[in-house]
Amino acid sequence: MNLTASELAAAFTERFGDEPAGVWSAPGRVNLIGEHTDYNDGFVLPFAINHSTGVAARSRSDRTVRVCSTFAPNDVVQADLDTLAPGKIDGWAAYPLGVLWAVKRSGYRSPGLDLLIDSSVPVGAGLSSSAALECAVAVAANDLSDANLSRSELVAIGQLAENDMVGAPTGTMDQSASLLGEAGHAVFLDCRSRESRLVPLDLEGSGLELLVMDTRVSHSHSTGGYAARRRSCELGAELMGVPALRDLSVRDLAEAAGLLDEETFRRVRHIVTENARVQDAVDVLTDKGPGALGQLLNTSHASMRDDFEISSAELDTAVDTAVSAGALGARMTGGGFGGAAIALVRSEDSAAVADAVTRAFTSAGFTAPVIFPVLPASGAGRVT
């Protein structure tokens, strides 16, 4: 949140003429490792970050929803809960309204609501600003409706909203990180069983920082390459005779090379090896701590660059420069085709790495990146 809870509540009162029932927030996320494995029933290792989306909300006596944001407080989107449906709402409002539609679609009744949104999660950077928005609205609606939905049920509602209302074919990783995260920990998620557990990620105690390097090249999950990669994965699983690529191991890649066309094989190889890297990362964090993650981050980026082909010149420049300047490891994070990369650095090297990346972008003629550290934070909940 850019505003404090009290500031957001005051802005709500000014906009809607009455005080909100409360303020709720949900964090964005960084995916430490495990990219595009979620919709392949695989493993991911994200963590909630200390940048969040807040929502001030109150229930109404009718079935109307009014939603606006602090970025355009006079731009109010209004809808009837009973007539909400996919295809009827465009733009950013599809995310919060999609959550309320998904609550109804899942068999629960949400009251009409007034909502004012505020956020400090960069949009289009691969830090899941969309899931932060969905989860903030979901926990607010859950509390105000007394539905008593579990966190896992709210994860499913967020995914349904994004898949059907927004039209983005995403998995459950983003919502899981935003709802299940805890300070000082990453969330190890099995995307098939939906089982999760917390894994220690004590960056501060290890003298480390994780730098987000936002290239400011925006991306969108609902268009283009993301959907194409998903189709390639589904084709690879079908041709290999398995329910999902999760069911293949590194040992199966030799057989896959003989059955698949060259492009599909490379897509499959990324998913299979990335699943293995996630499990290796959990072991490393448990046994050795975050300082030993560097090589796994580097090989993950190479796989996304060469096999899955979702990197970009800006992302590669950020990753390569960070490692050359002293980062322990670096990789792009998020869906790709823009967005952000992350670099694991010793705290004393943070400024030098950030400066080197900024200078490299200037030399290449790219838009200046936005670089900032993040820490593992707690998940979504009520603030006031």
- Positions marked active-site: 174
Crossing angle (nearest 10°) for helices 94-105 and 129-145 = 50
349 sits in the region (left: phi over 0; alpha: psi -120 to 50; else beta) called alpha
Pair type for strands 113-119 and 43-59: antiparallel
Round to whole Å and give the CA distance between 223 and 339: 14
Round to whole Å and give the CA distance between 330 and 276: 18
Q: Which amino acid is at 149?
A: L
Burial (0-12, 13-18, 19+ Cβ within 10 Å), 64: middle
List, in sequence order, every beta strand (DSSP E) within the chain: 22-33, 43-59, 64-69, 72-80, 113-119, 185-190, 196-200, 208-214, 329-333, 340-346, 370-374, 381-382
CA 297 to chain CA mean position, Å: 17
Round to whole Å and give the CA distance between 53 and 278: 27
DSSP code per residue over 215-264: ------TTSTHHHHHHHHHHHHHHHHT-SSGGG--GGGHHHHHHHS-HHH
